[in-house]
Homo-oligomer: A and B are copies of this chain.
C-alpha cells in the first residue's frame, strides 16, 4: 500500500467516527470530498479548526458556546430562579422554539450513567451543584428524555438534588397535542390515565 492510500484509509477511518456513519458511507464521503469537492473539504477543515479553537463550554450552564458565559445565561431578562436540566444543546433549541420556559438551562452533555463512570460529580456536571448552591434557584425542572436512559438520569438527578431547598418538577407525561386515543401506544395511554389531571375534586 502506498503512502497516499494510507492517508485515504486514515481519512475514511476518521470519518467513520461520525455518528451514524459506517464504513461504506465514510468511503463515499471521502471519495466525494477528494474527487468532486475539494473546496468543500477545505471548508470543513477551516470551520472545524475554528470551532475547536473557539467553542468552549459555558461556565454556568455547560452548553457549547463561544464565550465564557453563553447568551442565555447572561440574559438578565430571563428568570434566573428556574433552572431546566436538559440532555444536549439541541434540547435547548427545541425548548426555546416551544417558547414555554423563560428560565435558565443546565446542559448535561449526555446521560448520567454511573456504570459508565459518568455521575453527578463528573467533569462539567460539578457546575450544576455549584449553581444550585448559590441559592438563587427556587425550581429545578428535570427535562431529560422519556427514554430508559433519560428516565434513569432523571432519577439520579432527583436523588442528588432532593435535599436542596428548591422545588423539583419533571415534564409531564401523557397524550401529545392533537393525539387520538385510537392511535396512541398503550404505554402512553396508561401513563395518561395514571397521571390524569384533576379538574375538580
Contacts and interface: CB of A to CB of B under 8 A. Distances in A.
Interface string A159-201: 0001000011111111111111110111111111111111111
Interface residues of A, number: 55
B100 A189 contact: yes
Contact of A199 (B98, B168, B184, B198): B168
Nearest to A145: B180
Number of copies: 2
A2 interface: no
Nearest to A166: B200
A146 interface: yes
A199 B172 contact: no
12 contacts: A95-B181, A98-B187, A99-B186, A100-B190, A141-B193, A158-B200, A167-B201, A171-B189, A171-B192, A173-B197, A176-B184, A177-B188
Q: Which 10 A-B pairs give the minimum distances between C-beta atoms?
A: A172-B174, A100-B190, A174-B174, A177-B187, A171-B192, A98-B186, A98-B189, A172-B195, A169-B196, A176-B188
